[in-house]
Amino acid sequence: MKNRLRNFCTLLMVTFSLLAGAQNPVIQTKFTADPAPMVYKDTVYLYTTHDEDDAGPGMGKFLMKDWLLYTSTDMVNWTDRGVVASLKSFSWGRQENGAWAHQCIERNGKFYMYCTVQGSGIGVLVADSPYGPFKDPIGKKLVGGEDIWSTIDPSVFIDDDGEAYLYWGNPGLWYVKLNKDMISYSGEIVKVPEVGKVKGQATADLYHYQEGPWAYKRNGHYYMAYASTCCPEGIGYAMSNSPTGPWEYQGYIMKPDKRSSGNHPGIIDYKGKSYVFGFNFRLNFMQTAAHHERRSVCIEEFKYNPDGTIPELPWWSETGAKQVGSLNPFKLVEAETINWAEGLSTKKADLSSQMYVTNVSNGDFIKVKGVDFAKGAKKFEANVAPLAGGSIEIRIDDKAGSLLGTLQVKGTGSDKNWKILSCHIKSVKGKHDVYLVFKGGNDNLFNFDWWQFKKAVY
C-alpha cells in the first residue's frame, strides 16, 4: 500500500491543491467506511470498517477483516487508535472476510459494539472502555436466521425510558427490543412494513430504503437515516413519533452520486453542532480509474430546520467540517493525530501495544490543523525510533511554509530503540496549521510515536 498511497496522495495534492485546506476524506492512511460515530464525554469516537488495500477491482468485491477506531476533540484532527476488533473476535463466524458495518454504544459504563459478520449474522462485543479490548460475551450470533445475507448493518438506540432497540437489514428493515444486559433480546423480531411513506402513500422506488440504518432521537423526534436507492446510493431519512414507527419519508440528506456506489450514514451532535458522516471513493479513484470497494469516510456539518427536518446537503465537499476549538501543542500529541497526511501509514503490533506512524520516506508529511501556540513556543520534542535516519522540518501554514526548525534524527538501523529528541525553533505565536515534513533517503527513515512543543519563557 505504501507506494500506491504515495502516488495517489502526490497526485491528490497537485490536482486539488489540498494544502489550501482540504480535509475530506478525514482518514488518508487507510481506507475506511461505514462510519459509526459515538460522542462520549468530551470526545468523538469514530468507529469504522476497513477496506483492505488489495481488494480486487469491481463492484461488490469487499475485502474487510477488522474494525478501526479514530478519536477527535475538534472534528478535524483525528487520532488513529488502531484495530479494536476483528473477525477473530467472533469464533463462530467466517474468518477470511466480512467485517461489515457496526455501531458502538455506551450503557452503564460499558461499551457494546454490534458487528456484522457478513454471511454469519450480527454479533455483539463488550468492553469496559471505548478503546477496548472488546470481547464476545455470548460466543454466538445475536441475530441471524436463514436469510443471513439480509442480516447486516446493525444500528442500536436507547430511548429515554431505557428501552433499547437494535435495527438492521438489506433490503428491508428489521428491529428487536434488547434486554437491559444489551447482549440478549426479548420478544419477536419485527420487519418494518414500510420505512418511509410520502403523505400516506407507499414510497416510490426512487426513495426506498436500501440498507445502513442509523437510528437516533433528537428534541422529541425519532430519526431513521439510511442508504437510499441503489446504485449509486444516497442518504435518505424518515421521521416518527415512536422508535418503532410508522416512519414517514422526509427526503434526501444527500442525493446519490456516481462518484460513490454506496453510502452509510452516521449522525451526531457535538459541541453545539450537528454532523453527518458517510463515505466516498475519492482516494480510490485518485489511485486508479477502476472501481474497487475501497472507501473513505467523510464528514459535513449541517443545521436542522426549525421543524426538526434535515436540509438536503451537496455532495461531500473537499474542505469538510470546520474545526471546533484548537489543538494544544504543549501537551503530548500522538504522531498519528492527523488532519492530512501524505505517503505514511500507521501501525499497531497488537491490541495492547502503542500506535505509531511508520513507512516514513523523503517528502512525506503530516498536517495538524489549528495548533494554538498562544504566547509562544521555543522547543520541539519528538519520540522516534531511528532506522535509516533523516530529519523532521517543522513548518507552519503550508508544506513549504515558514520553517521553524529542523529535528535531526541520526539513523541506528533499529526500530526498537525509541529516543526522545529535541531542537530549538524560531519564535511562533498564535494559531497555525503545523506541517511536519520528513526529509532523508527513500527508505524507512524512522518510526514516529509522539511530539510536543515547549513554551517560551518570558
211 is an active site residue: yes
Nearest partner of 274 among 255, 241, 257, 299, judged by Cα? 299
Q: Are 355 and 383 in contact (CB under 8 A)?
A: no
| Annotated catalytic residue within 34, 136, 248, 336 | 34
Biggest alpha carbon–alpha carbon distance for the chain: 71
| Neighbour-count burial for 257-277, b at 16+ CB within 10 Å, e otherwise | beebbbbbbbbbebeeeebbb
Contacts of 306 (CB under 8 A, 6+ apart): none
Cα 97 to Cα 10: distance, rounded to the nearest angstrom: 31
Element (H, E) at 254: strand 248-254
Helix (H, G, I), strand (E, B) or coil at 205: helix
Sheet holding 110-117, edge to edge: 99-107, 110-117, 121-127
| Annotated catalytic residue within 51, 80, 194, 211 | 211
Contacts of 41 (CB under 8 A, 6+ apart): none
Q: Are 37 and 299 in contact (CB under 8 A)?
A: no
Helix (H, G, I), strand (E, B) or coil at 15: helix
243: left (phi over 0), alpha (psi -120 to 50) or beta: alpha
Q: Are 126 and 104 in contact (CB under 8 A)?
A: no
What nine digits make up the cell of 415?
526500530
34 is an active site residue: yes
Catalytic residues, which ones?
34, 211
